[in-house]
């Protein structure tokens, strides 16, 4: 069984990823806040080629904090936010950290868009902080 696996709340969509993530991060941009209804989105990103999906997330396309389009995938049956595809890094696909079967595997290396973080938001002291996106 793959170490990195997960799915939506109802189980209609499942994924497994071979190897280790490319990057793990918390994004505090306004778009992630709205999409998650929370302070930030915790994402684990994998090479698309390493990911096997069962079921089809429905994608909602928006302009992300970077100014580039991003597609947010959610389960059409239970509505769980699940995945993200970013024009800025087209070879990667991200999954919400809490969708992992073992969420304890998540260890963020960076916090992005800290400029739009709220006073009630909390961050680890060990992460790299960027006021903007991955490139900024």
- List of residues contacting Zn ion (CB under 5 A): 8, 10, 12, 27, 29, 32, 65, 75, 77-78
**Residue nearer to Zn ion on the CB measure, 46 or 113:** 113
Shortest distance, position 66 Cβ to Zn ion, whole Å: 8
Contacts of 70 (CB under 8 A, 6+ apart): 31, 61, 62, 63, 64, 84, 85, 86, 87, 88
**Residue nearer to Zn ion on the CB measure, 49 or 121:** 121
Shortest distance, position 91 Cβ to Zn ion, whole Å: 18
**Residue nearer to Zn ion on the CB measure, 27 or 44:** 27
Cα dist. 33→16, 18, 29, 116 in Å?
26, 29, 6, 9
Shortest distance, position 82 Cβ to Zn ion, whole Å: 8
Query: Burial level of 21, CB count in 10 A (0-12/13-18/19+)?
Result: buried
């Amino acid at each position: 069984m793959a170490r990195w696996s997960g799915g939506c709340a109802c189980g209609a969509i499942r994924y497994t990823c071979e190897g280790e993530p490319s990057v793990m991060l918390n994004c505090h941009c306004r778009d992630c806040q709205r999409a998650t209804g929370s302070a930030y989105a915790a994402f684990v990103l994998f090479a698309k080629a390493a990911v096997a999906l069962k079921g089809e997330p429905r994608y909602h396309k928006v302009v992300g904090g970077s100014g580039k389009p991003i597609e947010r995938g959610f389960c059409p049956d239970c509505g769980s936010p699940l995945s993200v595809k970013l024009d800025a890094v087209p070879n990667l696909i991200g999954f919400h950290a809490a969708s992992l079967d073992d969420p304890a595997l998540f260890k963020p290396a960076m916090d992005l868009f800290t400029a739009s973080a709220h006073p009630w938001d909390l961050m680890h002291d060990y992460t790299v902080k960027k006021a903007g996106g991955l490139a900024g």
